[in-house]
Amino acid sequence: MDLQQPPSVRHFDHCPWLFGEAATDEQRQAQRERQRALGGDTVIGERCYVAESAAVFPDRLRLGDDSYIAAHAYVTGELTTGTDCTLNPFTTVRGTVALGTGVRIGAHTSLLGFNHSTAPDRPVFRQPHTSRGIKVGDDVWIGSHVVVVDGVTIGDHCVIGAGAVVTKDLPAWTVAAGNPARPLRDRRDVPTAAPARRDPLARFADTARAQAPEVIARCWDGARYVDRPGAVPTVRAHCDAVEIADLLLGTAPGQLTADEHVRRLAGAQDPDTGLVPEFGEPLPEPEEDGFTGEGAALYHILSVGYALDLLGSSFPHPVRGVRDMTARQLMTRLAGLAWRDGAWGAGAWIDAWATAAHWNRRHAGDDGGGAVEALFGRLLGSVDPWTGMWGSPSPVEGRLQVVNGYYRLTRGSFAQFGLPVPYPERVVDTVLDHARDPRHFGPGRENACNVLDVAHPLWLCARQLGTDVVGDGYRTAEIRAWAERQLAAVLPRWRDGQGFGFGPAGPAGPGPEPGLQGTEMWLAIVWYLADLLGRSEELGYRPRGVHRPEPARTGLGPHGG
């Protein structure tokens, strides 16, 4: 920024705390006109700011002194705030909401002070609204991507962790997190143990969160993101930076504005194919059916799509090879995948194809002409009932290709669409057998892919079986023991200010040096391992991108999810 020039109105929209000191007389007059234009039953205090880009259409608004509504916030209904309250970018406040003094609401958070009734005598969209309202006390910090539902009261001095879903009242001084949100501790409780004896999960999460800006900044070369210093810029590195910042900080990486992140990532999509090539590389030639079969462009369907999703945006164009592929063409392509000696590649192809179908359905309303349904039919008809998987082991690699391919295949299909996997008990058997293979899980041999590709299937199948991993269930003791060993091994690998390395040097992954890919993947792995032990809430974060635990959509309809 040119320090000789005042920031633009657009800058104030995203950084409204600067308005009081940096605005010109013309900008102050424009803000007064903006506030007057709100009209209606509106009273705005002194030194307040309402972003030009915010959608503020209240029935009644009382904004206390020194408060602001930032970029792209959405405010309707009745909102009352005390002094010094902040609604950060992309906040949604609807219905009847009352905030005390000194309340901070993080970006992308929703306070929904209304509901629909649910009587069975009429469709939901014809149900009348109900509203008990939301009340938030003084000195409350609500993190990013939180949802607070109607009828909830949050007491004074509370702190709500990023990504929480608050469904019940929280008493004063509560620190809460999770979905649904649960109290973790009282803010007034001062730990009596020495710092070295604090819970290692909480200590790790605090460290990672505090160092996340430094971890990301070291991988910014001044123009683009690199996986690690000295590496070439890549599209995936940019997406990994977005994922890490969202997971730990609840915001976009600070090297660019959120809008610029969206502009760069969305602008990288080829409008003709809907694919995203690597920087400086051409797109691979498509197959006869119009969809490419290899290269970074396939993974970019996942990484760029979810990075844009985290930024509140989406691909501007459909993935045309998937949109135009018929069910017959899909069956031909599936039959031609290298299931016997390349199950990982086959699973990765299905992951990319199914994720493209998800984006097409979500953003273009395209049902794919039955091809998605045909995919699931083919997978259910070809799964091995003895292993619950697809593909065959080999004498050289054992079950590595099969299990890693299973993760990729089910991540993009069954897990992403919220559908149950077949033969979950057999999957647990197969995965635990693979996890004992010293070729891949011997001392110093674990890499992020191999550990994730065991942790996620175990987590997915345990939840499907209704297993309480901390209690009784199918092979619970073995799952828990494996997760404990892995968690104990990975936490000490964090390197201050640098993050995680991917794993040992070899043909897979970027190697042992800390970088964005290793950091993004291991942060997600730590969450899955902790959740297998019933302790993920201690982390205060939950993956929302490529490695999200929840389905991205529910069912096969074009408007599901």
Cα–Cα distance for residue pair 470/535, rounded to 1 Å: 9
For tokens 């969305």, name the residue.
266
- The DSSP result for 4-70, as a single string, is TSPPPHHHHHH-GGGHHHH--HHHHHHHHHHHHHT-SEEEE-TT-EE-TT-EEEEEEEEE-TT-EE-
Give the phi and the psi of residue 172 in degrees, each rounded to 5: -55, 145
Counting every residue written for the chain, the total comes to 561
Strands 129-130 and 115-116: antiparallel
Choose, from 11, 116, 145, 547, the residue flagged as catalytic.
116
Any idea what DSSP says for residue 384?
Answer: B
- Cα distances (Å, whole numbers) of residue 512 to 107, 142, 441, 443: 34, 37, 16, 14
Which pairs with CB-CB distance under 8 Å and at least 24 residues apart come from 43-48?
45/83, 47/20
Q: Residue 99: enclosing H or E segment and its boundaries? A: strand 92-99
Q: 227, 229, 279, 225: which is closest to 253 by C-alpha?
A: 225
Q: CB neighbours (10 Å) of residue 191?
A: 11
Helix intervals (H) in 196-295: 200-217, 235-249, 258-267
* Residue pair 182/164 in contact by the 8 Å Cβ criterion: no
Cα–Cα distance for residue pair 520/241, rounded to 1 Å: 8
Q: In the chain, what is the straight-line distance between the N-terminal and C-terminal CA atoms, in Å?
A: 40
Give the phi and the psi of residue 130 in degrees, each rounded to 5: -120, 155
378, two tokens: 């083919």
Q: Is the dihedral of CA 290, 293, 295, 299 positive or negative?
A: positive
243 residue type, one letter: E
**116 in active site:** yes
The dihedral formed by the CA atoms of 73, 77, 80 and 84, expressed in degrees to the nearest 10 = 0
Residue 131, sorted as left (phi over 0), alpha (psi -120 to 50) or beta, turns out to be: beta
Burial of 4: CB neighbours in 10 Å, binned 0-12, 13-18, 19+: exposed
234-269: string of b/e by CB count within 10 Å (b at 16+)? bbbbbbbbbbbbbbbbbbbbebbbbbebbeebbebb
The dihedral formed by the CA atoms of 392, 395, 401 and 403, expressed in degrees to the nearest 10 = 70
Supply the Cα-derived Rg of the chain in whole angstroms: 25
Positions marked active-site: 116
